[in-house]
Amino acid sequence: MTSIAIERLGKRFGAHEAVRELSLDLPSGGFIVLLGPSGCGKTTTLRLLAGLEDPTAGTIRFGDRVVADGDRAFSLPARRRGLGMVFQSYALWPHMTVRQNVGWPLAVAGWSRADRAARVAEVLESLEIAGLSARTPAQLSGGQQQRVAIARTIAPRPDVVLFDEPLSNLDARLRTETRAELGRVHRASGATSVYVTHDQVEALALATHVAVMKDGVLEQFGTPSELIERPATAFVASFLGSPAAVLLPGRAEAGVFRHGAVALSAGAEAARAAHVMYRPQDIRLDPQGELGFEILESTPSAGRHLVTGLAGEERGRRHRVTIVTDEAARTGETTRLRLPSVPAALFDGDGRRL
């Protein structure tokens, strides 16, 4: 197993900085997810790890090996990094059978015929596609093709496996099934895995660690539980969770946090707060509550209801929030929200947790 150390990594495309001052220590054997919205730098970071892009600053180490150093204009070719990569497109050889596709990288690596046959059989069996070994990609479904692509990647037993949104072409049911397979394959292989997605459900289901990125900068790195329970920035709080935390903007006046005309209890640090955060499950529908609330939709979920609406008003703008309730709400109605006596967290004007 190989750890990955990223130190002050940067990548420019002309005047645009796609990745800035990124530093991460990725534990050996971990399943690390790079998560964020489009344009946040996660795919560029993966390509830098893969050797498909050269950094303009900083270093990347696989274990004790420096594989890239932007300050010295050094980048080890992808083929010499000892990694495997699963792409969004399956990239299978159309004229080869499943068995031949999976065995091809082993042949290139110089494995003997007997060792290749044994390893291909082992991998196909582990991914439950041994019965498809004589078929060509055209005879497979999308989910089956993706399993073949994964089998081909892990067959040479790489120390590092990179995944570039590998499930995005699958329908919802296949995504769930293949996601479970990926987790099982990772646990069996022990390889250090780095996975790119914008889908937080995928991230939280698969990851041992998550790196949340925004505008080329790392917002927070930690376990899924750490990020959900203690978000370091307002962006992480609003991006993670199903539903995400409720963030209300406002201003501090005389030690009191105000959202529009409403004064909210916020504790001793309210003087520097620009946002207050509440857990969706801690807010109640209450006609006598603090904030006005226009209900837009009410969706049943696991015995409860996700109620989304427009809440409060700050500087002429209402804010879309989702809360968790025990009872359904009626779409189109206007009511009020009862907030907890103190918020779960406060964030300053730069979005940093106080």
CATH number at residue 47: 3.40.50.300
Residue where the block lists tokens 């106080």: 354
Domain boundary among 199, 229, 259: 229
Domain boundary among 192, 208, 229: 229
| Domain range enclosing 160 | 4-229
**If DSSP codes are grouped into helix, strand and coil, which group holds residue 183?**
helix
Same domain, 221 and 246: no
Same domain, 51 and 127: yes
According to the model, what pLDDT value does residue 119 have?
A: 96
According to the model, what pLDDT value does residue 193 have?
A: 96
The answer to whether 319 and 234 have CB atoms below 8 angstroms apart is: no
Residue where the block lists tokens 């399956």: 90
- Where b means 16+ CB within 10 Å and e means fewer, 83-120 reads bbbbebebebeeeebbbbbbbbbbeeeebeeeebeebb
Question: Across-strand partners of 164?
Answer: 196
Same domain, 214 and 252: no
Whether 96 maps to a domain, the answer reads: yes
According to the model, what pLDDT value does residue 153 have?
A: 92
Whether 237 maps to a domain, the answer reads: no
**Within 13 Å and on the Cβ side, how many CA atoms surround 117?**
3
Give the whole-angstrom CA distance, residue 238 versus residue 235: 5
Q: In what order do the strands lie in the sheet with 334-338?
A: 284-285, 334-338, 291-301, 304-314, 317-325
Give the whole-angstrom CA distance, residue 207 versus residue 297: 31
The answer to whether 275 and 254 have CB atoms below 8 angstroms apart is: no
Give the whole-angstrom CA distance, residue 321 versus residue 112: 59
Whether 236 maps to a domain, the answer reads: no
How many domains is the chain partitioned into structurally?
2
Same domain, 103 and 210: yes
Question: Across-strand partners of 160?
Answer: 83, 192
Q: Could you tell me the mean pLDDT of each successive run of 10 residues in the chain, 354 residues long?
A: 94 96 96 95 97 97 96 94 88 95 94 96 92 96 90 92 88 82 86 93 93 97 96 96 94 85 80 93 95 96 94 91 94 95 93 95
Same domain, 267 and 338: yes
Whether 278 maps to a domain, the answer reads: yes
300 class by beta-carbon count within 10 Å (0-12 exposed, 13-18 middle, 19+ buried): exposed
SS3 labels along 239-279: HCECCECEEEECEEECCEEEECCEEECCCHHHHHCCEEEEC
Same domain, 73 and 208: yes
Same domain, 50 and 176: yes
Same domain, 270 and 221: no
Whether 235 maps to a domain, the answer reads: no
Same domain, 186 and 334: no
Torsion angle defined by CA atoms of residues 176, 179, 181 and 186, in that order, rounded to the nearest 10 degrees = -160
The answer to whether 286 and 338 have CB atoms below 8 angstroms apart is: yes
**Neighbour count for residue 146 (Cβ, 10 Å):** 27
Closest by alpha carbon to 165, among 192, 199, 189?
A: 199
Domain boundary among 201, 229, 257: 229
Same domain, 91 and 132: yes
Whether 234 maps to a domain, the answer reads: no
What are the Cα distances from residue 161, in Å, to 47, 152, 191, 204, 346? 12, 11, 7, 18, 38
According to the model, what pLDDT value does residue 234 have?
A: 97
Strands 192-197 and 31-35: parallel
Whether 341 maps to a domain, the answer reads: yes
Kindly report the backbone phi and psi dihedral angles of residue 332, in degrees, each rounded to the nearest multiple of 5, phi listed first: 95, -15
Whether 16 maps to a domain, the answer reads: yes
H/E run at residue 250: none
According to the model, what pLDDT value does residue 47 have?
A: 97
Same domain, 19 and 145: yes
Same domain, 115 and 74: yes
**Neighbour count for residue 316 (Cβ, 10 Å):** 6
Strands 291-301 and 83-86: unpaired
